[in-house]
Chains A and B, each alone.
Chain A
Amino acid sequence: MISESAYHRMVFGMLFCEWLIIWIPGAGFSGLAGNGFFSLGVDPLAWLPFVTGFPQWLTGHAWVCLLSDAFIAVGILVALISPMRSGWGKGMMLACLLWYLTITAYLGHRNFQTGIFLVWYPYIFAKQQSKQMAWEALRYFVLFFYFSAAVFKIWEGQWLQPQHMSNILKAQFIPYYLEGQSGLRLSVNQFLANRPGLGALLFNLSVLAELLPVLGFFTRRYDKLIGFGLIAFHLANWFLMDIAPIGQLSLLILFFIRKIPFQQPVSDEHKTHIL
Chain B
Amino acid sequence: MRKNFLSRLFAHSKPAGIACILFIFVYALLLYKKMDMALFPLNAMFAYERPNDKPVTGYRLWVNDQPADYTKYPYWKKDLMETSLSVYARFHENSHTTFLRSYFDQKKSDWLWAGRWQERLIPATSGIGLWPVWYARKAGLEAGPGASFRLVKYDMSWASGRPIVSDSIIIYQSDISRK
Q: Chain A residues in contact with chain B, CB under 8 A?
A: 21-22, 25-27, 31, 34-45, 47, 50-53, 56, 103, 106-112, 114, 129-130, 133, 136-137, 140-141, 145-146, 148-149, 152-153, 155-156, 158, 161, 163-164, 167-168, 170-171, 174-179, 181, 190, 193-194, 238, 242, 244, 246
A22 and B75 alpha carbons, distance in the complex (Å): 9
Task: Check: B176 CB closer than 8 A to any chain A CB.
Answer: no
Contact of B47 among A53, A130, A149, A194 (CB under 8 A): A149
Number of interface residues of B (CB under 8 A): 78
Contact of B158 among A106, A109, A158, A170 (CB under 8 A): A170
Given contacts A47-B114, A194-B161, contact A21 B99 (CB under 8 A): no
Specify which chain B residues have a CB less than 8 angstroms from the CB of A242 in the assembled complex.
75, 78
B80-A190 in contact (CB<8A): no
B47-A178 in contact (CB<8A): no
Specify which chain A residues have a CB less than 8 angstroms from the CB of B13 in the assembled complex.
130, 133
A148 and B27 alpha carbons, distance in the complex (Å): 11
A81 and B128 alpha carbons, distance in the complex (Å): 42
A50-B121 in contact (CB<8A): yes
Q: Report the 4 A-B pairs with minimum CB-CB distance, sorted nearest first.
A: A36-B127, A108-B87, A27-B76, A152-B47
Given contacts A35-B131, A39-B91, A145-B43, contact A107 B161 (CB under 8 A): no
Most chain A CB neighbours (cut-off 10 Å) among B58, B60, B137, B163? B163
Specify which chain B residues have a CB less than 8 angstroms from the CB of A47 in the assembled complex.
114, 117, 121
Tell me, rounded to whole Å, the shortest Cβ–Cβ distance linking A165 to chain B.
8
Q: List 16 A-B contacts (CB under 8 A).
A: A22-B76, A25-B73, A26-B73, A35-B130, A37-B127, A39-B98, A39-B123, A44-B112, A130-B13, A145-B43, A148-B31, A152-B43, A155-B47, A156-B47, A167-B51, A174-B58
Specify which chain B residues have a CB less than 8 angstroms from the CB of A146 in the assembled complex.
43
Specify which chain A residues have a CB less than 8 angstroms from the CB of B51 in the assembled complex.
167
Please give 6 more A-B residue pairs, beta carbons under 8 A apart, in addition to A45-B39, A171-B50, A190-B162.
A34-B130, A34-B137, A36-B124, A108-B83, A109-B83, A152-B43
A51-B88 in contact (CB<8A): no
Q: Chain B residues in contact with chain A, CB under 8 A?
A: 5, 8-9, 12-13, 16, 20, 31, 35-52, 56-58, 60, 67, 69-71, 73-80, 82-84, 86-88, 91, 98-100, 103, 112, 114, 117, 120-121, 123-124, 126-131, 133-135, 137-138, 154, 156, 158, 161-163, 165
A156-B87 in contact (CB<8A): no
A59 and B106 alpha carbons, distance in the complex (Å): 29
B74-A25 in contact (CB<8A): yes
A-B pairs with beta carbons under 8 A, tally: 211
Contact of B40 among A37, A114, A156 (CB under 8 A): A114
A21-B76 in contact (CB<8A): yes
B69-A161 in contact (CB<8A): no
Given contacts A51-B117, A107-B83, A152-B44, contact A42 B131 (CB under 8 A): no
A52 and B82 alpha carbons, distance in the complex (Å): 27
Tell me, rounded to whole Å, the shortest Cβ–Cβ distance linking A142 to chain B.
10
A154 and B51 alpha carbons, distance in the complex (Å): 18
A109-B87 in contact (CB<8A): yes
A34 and B127 alpha carbons, distance in the complex (Å): 8
B131-A37 in contact (CB<8A): yes
Chain B residue at smallest Cβ distance from A217: B5
Given contacts A43-B39, A51-B121, contact A27 B77 (CB under 8 A): yes
Specify which chain B residues have a CB less than 8 angstroms from the CB of A39 in the assembled complex.
87, 91, 98-100, 123
A175-B70 in contact (CB<8A): yes
Specify which chain B residues have a CB less than 8 angstroms from the CB of A111 in the assembled complex.
42, 79
A31 and B6 alpha carbons, distance in the complex (Å): 42
